[in-house]
Amino acid sequence: RALQRRFEYLYLITSYLETLAQNYPGFTRLEILGQSYEGRDIYGLRISSGGFNKPAIFVDAGIHAREWIAPPTRLWRKTRTPNTLCYGVDPNRNFDFYWMLNGASSSQCSEIYAGPTPFSESETRALRDYLLANADTIKLYLTFHSYGQYLLYPWGYTSDLPDDNDELYALGVSVNNAIRSVAGTTYEIGTSTNVLYAAAGGSDDYAKGVSGIELSYTIELPGGGTSGFNPPASRILPIVQETWEGVKTRLWRKTRSS
Ligand code: 0X9
Ligand code: ZN
């Protein structure tokens, strides 16, 4: 039954994206970035009023599948590659930037298994290729996870602060203020290592350290439910509404070269 619900959710998300693309043909384009291990398409929705080389924001949600407040699924974190002992690799340990330095495991059955090699997974390769191909226009990378109400920015592989820590922190404060103004939800702001834990090989570190996207954030949405990863359905809309206020703050949109 859980599996059936998972496919219903996936179908709903896919058909919602298709509906958007059909209803707003002048502004949206549905793209396929690659395929998952199990062969499902990885969709991207490009939203633009036209023109070339305009500053862009890249948003992903669901690098960790079970964090279903980002997109709904079952309680599974990793990819689905069948290793010899256990299924799956933690995609957020699989990026090639200080890969396996810390906070990652070489044991196949671990929830933070970094994979046999960096970019062993088709899902992380698809994200890498898209980020690199569009690195000149993407000014802001947002990756939605759950849970804990954290606004995290690089680095995740070291406790050293990035050169532009002050700017990254200030943007976080403005987003937190916007979210808090809706229903009082507050976020803790800081680098991944200093606020949460050291963990190398994450997509946020890769976006900043390799793709050169200066503004890169992991947003750990609120938790809830029996496992923390499954807030009740009644919480979805309130969380979406307050988070959206944060995403569209004026400061949040400010980008270096635009
Ligand atoms: O551990 C993670 O991948 C993220 N937390 S979660 O509970 N959603 O799994 C935090 C990632 C922060 N970024 C890096 N460590 N690079
Ligand atoms: Zn996560």
ipTM confidence score: 0.99
Centre of ligand 2 to C-alpha 92, Å, is: 7
Domains and CATH numbers, the chain: 2-253 (3.40.630.10)
For the CA of 152, the nearest atom of ligand 1: 12
For the CA of 93, the nearest atom of ligand 1: 3
Q: What is the pLDDT of residue 3?
A: 61
- Does residue 245 have an active-site annotation? no
* Pair 96, 120: CB distance under 8 Å: no
pLDDT along the chain (258 residues), means of 10: 65 84 92 92 91 89 79 70 91 97 96 97 96 93 95 98 97 95 97 98 98 95 88 89 87 48
Q: What is the pLDDT of residue 72?
A: 45
Which residues, in sequence order, are CB contacts of 252 under 8 Å at separation 6+?
Answer: 140, 171, 174, 175, 178, 246
The residue whose CA has the least distance to atom 3 of ligand 1 is 92
Length of the chain: 258
For residue 68, whether the previous peptide bond is cis, meaning omega lies within 30 degrees of 0, is: no
* Pair 232, 151: CB distance under 8 Å: no
Collect residues with CB below 5 Å from ion ligand 2: 64, 67, 145
> Does the CB atom of residue 199 touch ligand 1 within 6 A?
yes
> Does the CB atom of residue 206 touch ligand 1 within 6 A?
no
> Does the CB atom of residue 204 touch ligand 1 within 6 A?
yes
Q: What is the pLDDT of residue 170?
A: 95
List 123, 214, 220, 242, catalytic entry: 220
Ligand number with the minimum distance to the CA of 220: 1
Q: What is the pLDDT of residue 230?
A: 84
